[in-house]
Amino acid sequence: MVFDVQNETLPRDELESLQLARLKYLVQKVYHNVPFYNQKFNEMGIKPERVKSLPDLKNLPFTEKQDLRNNYPFGLFAVPRESVVRVHVSSGTTGKATVVGYTQRDVDNWSRLMARSFEACGVTRADIVHNAYGYGLFTGGLGAHYGAEALGATILPVSGGATKRQVMLMKDFGPTVICCTPSYALHLYETALANGISIDDLKLRVGIFGAEPWTEEMRHDIQNKLRLKALDIYGLSEIMGPGVGIECIAAQNGLHIWEDHFLIEIIDPATGETLPPGEKGELVITTLTKEAQPLIRYRTRDITRINPVPCRCGRTHFRIERITGRSDDMLIIRGVNVFPSQIESILLETQGLSPHYQLIVDRKGSMDILEVQVEVDEKLFSDEIRHLQETEKKIMSHIKEFLGVTAKITLVEPRTIARSEGKAKRIIDKRNLQ
C-alpha cells in the first residue's frame, strides 16, 4: 500500500512544480543563512533569484564531503544551533568526521519518509520489525526506528551485535520484518542454524537491506535461505539517513527516490556535466526540505542511473538502479564506510612514518573481511617477534577505535605490494559486487 498517497503518486508535472518552488526557496535560504554557500554563490556570480527552472540547477555549485569536513562541526547549519534537535555523525578519524544536524521538522520528515519506505516494502502496522541496524551516531538504527513507529508497526530496537541473542529473540518474538545489512542477514541465518533454530521457527516475510553494496545473486541467496522478500534501501547520512530511496515490493526493481524531498541528477564524475536520463554516472542529490543542514548538489559518489519508466506500484517518483560502484575509493565494510586515506592517517599516527600498505577486502561466507597489509621497513622492523606483534595489535586497535571496523593486520616484506606507474595499488576488492 501507499503511506502518503497524495505525494507519492503526484503527477510528474505537479511533482516538478513542487520541486521548483522548493528549490527556489532553498537557494534563497542557503544564500542568506549559510556563509559557505553565500561565498560560493558570490564567487560563481550566481544570484539566487536567477534560479527560475529545474534545469537551472546545473548552474549551482556542487557540495562535496570535504566541504562538510571543512565546516566541521556545525558550520553548514542553516538554522541557529538551538533549533537543532539531533546530530548524527558518520565515521571518520578525529577532526574528519561528517556531521549532520536535524531540526524537529527534519526528524519528522525523515520518520515519514522511512514510514513511506516501509509501506512500499509491504510493511503494515500489524508487523513486528526487528531492527538490527546500529543505534547511535550512525543514522541506520534511529532512522529505521522512527520510521517504523511513524507507521505504527511494533519495533524491536535490537541494534547490532550479540548475534546469538538476536536469533533467540527472532524465534521468541516472531518478527515479520528485518532491517540490517544484507551480509548480516546471512550471518543471522547461519547463526540460527548453528543454534538449532530452523527457518520454520521464524516468521520473517520482508527484509529491508542496505548500508552496503550487494548483488542480485545475494538477493536470491537471502530470499531462498530466509524465505522472505529482500528489498534494497538507499540513504546516506549527509542527505538524511536511510529512506532517501526504497525498492517497492510490487516491482522489486530499482529504488524510488522520494523526489518531493530530494532532487536527483546523474553527472559524469570526471567532468561534472549533467547526463541525460538513463545514462550511468554519479548520483547528485539536492535536499529540498531539509531545514538544519540543506545541501545543494551533494556528490554522493554512488554510481547508478535514473530509470524514468513509470512503475507498476503507481508511485510517480523515479527509480534509480541498484548502486553498482563508487566514483571514489570508498569501501563499505560490514556497513562501515572506510576510505583508504583514513587507514593511511591511522598508520601515520601509529608509526610516525609512511609505510606502504594495501587493503584487501574479501567476503568469507557472508561476512566482509578487511585485511591491511603493511610493508615492514627498517624503522618498523624488530628482531623480536613480540615487538612486531605489538605493532600489529596497535594498528588493529586504532583502526577499530577510529573507524569501528575490525581489520586483520598482516606484515609483509618490502616491495611485495604491487606498484603501478610508481604508485602503490591501495585496494584489492575480491568481493565481486558488480
- Binding residue (CB under 8 A) for other proteins from 251, 369, 376, 427: 376
Greatest Cα pair distance in the chain: 72
Contact of 228 with 204, CB cutoff 8 Å: yes
- Give, in order, the Cα–Cα distances in Å from 60 to each of 27, 48, 136, 232, 295: 9, 9, 34, 30, 11
Q: Residue 146: which of 170, 179, 120 has the closest Cα?
A: 179
Closest CA to 340 of 407, 391, 422: 407
Following DSSP, what letter does each residue of 78-115 receive, concatenated?
Answer: SS-GGG--EEEEE--STT--EEEEE-HHHHHHHHHHHH
**The C-alpha cell that represents 173 in the structure block:** 518474538
Residue 414 contacts other proteins per CB under 8 A: yes
At closest approach, how far in Å is the CB of 415 from other proteins?
A: 5
Interface residue with other proteins among 82, 200, 378, 421 (CB under 8 A) is 378
| The one among 97, 107, 412, 427 contacting other proteins by CB under 8 A | 412
CA angle 357, 360, 366 (to 5 degrees): 155
Is residue 258 within 8 Å of 266, Cβ to Cβ?
no
Shortest distance, position 380 Cβ to other proteins, whole Å: 8
Query: Binding other proteins by CB under 8 A: which of 13, 43, 200, 383?
Result: 383
Query: Residue 340 Cβ, how far from other proteins at the closest point, in Å?
Result: 22
CA angle, 153 as apex, 147 and 155 as ends, to 5°? 75
Report how far apart, in Å, the C-alpha atoms of 313 and of each of 14, 19, 102, 178 are. 19, 22, 31, 22
Per-residue contact track with other proteins, 198 to 237, x per CB under 8 A? ----------------------------------------
Residue 388 interacting with other proteins (CB under 8 A): yes
Q: Which of 17, 195, 382, 397 binds other proteins (CB under 8 A)?
A: 382
Region of 66-74, 99-107, 118-126, 408-416 interacting with other proteins (CB under 8 A): 408-416
Binding mask 276-315 for other proteins (x = CB under 8 A): ----------------------------------------
Between residues 378 and 421, which has the closer beta carbon with respect to other proteins? 378
- Cα gap 7→248, rounded to integer Å: 16
Task: Tell me if 385 contacts other proteins by CB under 8 A.
Answer: yes
59 vs 382 by CB, closer to other proteins: 382
Scanning 268-426, the segments in alpha helix (DSSP H) are 340-351, 385-403
- Asked whether position 364 contacts other proteins by CB under 8 A, the answer is no
Shortest separation between residue 378's beta carbon and other proteins, angstroms: 6
Query: Does residue 384 touch other proteins according to CB under 8 A?
Result: yes
Binding site for other proteins (CB under 8 A): 376-378, 381-385, 388-389, 410-416
